[in-house]
Chains A and B, each alone.
Chain A
């Protein structure tokens, strides 16, 4: 295995990590701005009314599709370029392929943005809004992604058992092309109606559960022990968490369309599998919390680690909430309301967003040969704004969802539910502004760290 710094530099392609993480951060900000201006429509102060290509409906599709392909895929790929060679001890398949994939990914995202905004070419698959002719190209990209990261994992696996991260990444590499193919092409060319609905709902959840979640947990299993310099608490719980997720997660999807014309056995199985996933999740959380035991002091000054544990707690809150609201009883009230939006933001921004920001903040100074980020103040400020912002948004939208749901059941005039929601929507925009400010501070810190001339040293800087 790699012993000294020089070996590590040869092992990891720093350029690819830098490029992907930087683009991921840029898209994160763009996507957040898109979400923010969309929220202004609900406040009645949309800045671009009557402009076709900036219509809120189209902007909203950029918000969701961009979050998936622009932000998360870029960030995760960048962090995998860092983590996979390091824990396997083998290089990725090819640097040239890496740069080709980097350019292809940015091109795919830009083509999606242009097609949706300017040409109105969109698909009504949530999280798969990319025009259908682009989807086979994305599947091909994901197959390259499988080769790129599969190579070091396969080589390492020949020598002995893979580390936990390896299981998550290996399974994800196989799942993702299948999921994208299934979700985008089957409902368009083969299934229709309720069958298509079942495929689409499986897709929405699989993209979260079989791409985002395994990469994110895989990276958590890598970064958390590295930062705390100690192993995970229990290997058995790691196994339980992984196999529990792998078995139950793919069956969850249909819970997005409960009380729909999809046959009931599929709906019941989804509810059952979702409740089962919460047990797997809880076992993972116990593992991480017990690993923290004795090292919790580090959360005070180690911002990356704090991002990771904050995200982990949000993850558990989201999953705990899910175990309840996935039931048919809860669905009567909260389906199609802002409750779901709050849930989605807590998991996507509060958990995965904070995780990748924490991991990127750990990796970024090291990529430039520095010990620490440029400014501790910016780092802390960004953390608190993002964390409080997303938590406030979650509570706000959850409450709004209950108001809407009960209002609809009560058969009040429809416009009442809109008017009742308005105070919640104003507040949501304010929390969105907090999160955007946090992201800008975070990005400024990144920029300053990359361009700072002198080496930033950890000892000399204080909060």
Chain B
């Protein structure tokens, strides 16, 4: 028994061997199981959204049309921490879209949005009924949708004071998000969310519009879950008949 009470034995067995064994079970093996799911970079995500013409891509185009002045500032915006650089070709394209996602993600993390908003729909507790739009975007979370650069570290969150956001794309539109981020109580009476006025500025007419960082944040939030948004069944037929 005396040996078990020596520095080297404790450091080797408890400190190293037990620790590595636990890490093997807890995350190395799960990572091995998930290894065949390709890891996507931000550029891949942008290219994919454009190729599939998702709601995030059309929302990004809308942002460009709604806020042309601010979009120029967004193209010039540079940020060391997220590695965002100035873009010359200042129209919605793969480069600007990837940049918007990057900046949006960076400030989403910096503001601690993930302290109160989770990004995971669990298969229990009626969560698939609650988050997203039923029949449009209310699937349960699955591994491959997190297998990208914007989920490293993963943003599942720790607490829900507000709603889950991983199926947010189809739930609210850009105008709602602008109003909500500027003054949450204006759209959600009773909400305890703080306002984020520093993502907005006033344009010539005195309207509240997103600034360079705000465009990134809006694009990122509108992107969350956009890969799951599909038109409800029969949607095309009904509109065609009218």
Contact = CB atoms under 8 A, between A and B. Distances in A.
Interface in B94-151: 106-107, 109-116, 118, 120, 122-127, 129-130, 141-149, 151
B143 A162 contact: no
Interface string A177-201: 0110010000111011111111111
A193 B161 contact: no
B4 A261 contact: no
Interface of A is mostly: helix
B40 to A, nearest CB: 8
Contact of A195 (B34, B116, B195): B34
A197 B1 contact: no
Contact of B153 (A56, A125, A153, A260): A125
Contacts of A120: 81, 106-107, 110-111
A235 to B, nearest CB: 9
Nearest to A255: B26
A253 interface: yes
Given A170-B10, A187-B153, A414-B163, A175 B143 contact: no
Q: Which of the four size classes fits the interface of chain A?
A: 35 or more
B202 to A, nearest CB: 15
B26 A266 contact: yes
Interface residues of B, number: 81
B82 to A, nearest CB: 10
Contacts, number: 253
Given A175-B19, A202-B27, A250-B19, A340 B159 contact: yes
B154 A171 contact: no
Interface string A24-50: 000000000000000001111010011
B26 to A, nearest CB: 5
A260 B122 contact: yes
Contacts of B189: 415
Contacts of B11: 170-171, 173-174
A266 B19 contact: no
Given A198-B26, A202-B26, A411 B154 contact: no
A41 B161 CA distance: 12
A336 B111 contact: no
A55 B198 CA distance: 10
B188 interface: yes
A440 interface: no
Interface stretch (A57-65, A106-114, A285-293, A367-375): A57-65
Contact of B25 (A154, A189, A194, A266): A266
Per CB-CB distance, the 9 closest pairs between chain A and chain B, nearest first, are A57-B112, A174-B15, A120-B110, A193-B146, A250-B22, A161-B5, A157-B7, A198-B27, A246-B14
13 contacts: A41-B192, A42-B192, A122-B112, A123-B109, A161-B6, A178-B19, A192-B154, A193-B143, A193-B146, A266-B29, A273-B22, A338-B159, A411-B126
